[in-house]
Amino acid sequence: MTKEADYEPSPAGWVRDQVAAYEASGGTRANTLRDTGLPIIVVTSKGASTGKVRKTPLMRVEHDGRYALVGSQGGAPTHPRWVHNLRAEPTVLIQDGPEPHRYTVRELEGPEREEWWDRAVAAYPPYAEYQTKTERRIPVFLASRAD
Ligand code: F42
């Protein structure tokens, strides 16, 4: 999908540092959101405009080997940029532990979205509050193993 040489670290320092520490330790360090103790995954996507490799930590919302990717961005008024990347190119890498694996994502609607939204809130309760802070409907993608 992507070449590591094209990796462009996040401009957000805490995000960049989390990805670096997570990858360097094979997921044994920097594997929670700050001091919440709640686990994260790292999603690698291809920049929809630049083609650069983007690495995004997200909360770990897992069920039967699949993951929900929740574009909450703390309830900010606009979607995170990675949402546009996933809409343009649905093949991503997800690292949840020692190594990344390839996944295919699709954006959820209707009852399927509700089902996974409930799982997301169970895994990370602040998602519910984030939805009340923004007019936009928070996008939820489902990632399934591609290989
Ligand atoms: N964000 C969430 O939305 N949900 C979560 O569950 C979540 C958990 C989380 C846990 C730990 C942690 O460290 C961070 C966490 N975040 C979570 C924050 C998340 O990692 C992202 O930082 C946040 O969602 C913002 O995503 P973003 O893609 O908008 O990132 C910004 C800071 C960014 O990197 N912007 C780049 C830039 O240069 O400004 C561009 C990124 C990009 O992909 N650009 C595309 C390109 O072509 O390269 C273009 C995209 C377009 O709009 O066409």
- Per-residue model confidence (pLDDT) at position 10: 95
What sign results for the dihedral spanned by CA atoms 45, 50, 52, 58?
A: negative
pLDDT above 60 for 2: no
CA of 147 to the centre of ligand 1 (A): 25
pLDDT above 90 for 31: yes
The torsion angles phi and psi of 137, rounded to 5 degrees, stand at -85, 125
Indicate the class that CATH gives domain 4-145. Answer: mainly beta
Q: How far apart are the C-alpha atoms of 68 and 134, rounded to whole Å?
A: 20
- Per-residue model confidence (pLDDT) at position 16: 96
126 Cα distance to chain centroid:
15
pLDDT above 60 for 40: yes
Q: If pLDDT is split at 50, 70 and 90, which confidence band does 11 have?
A: very high
Range list of H helices, 1-80: 13-24
Give tens-digit pLDDT for 71-88: 999 999 999 999 999 999
- Per-residue model confidence (pLDDT) at position 35: 83
pTM: 0.97
CA of 58 to the centre of ligand 1 (A): 9
- Per-residue model confidence (pLDDT) at position 4: 78
Q: Which of 1, 10, 42 to mutate to test the pocket of ligand 1 (most atoms within 8 A of CB)?
A: 10
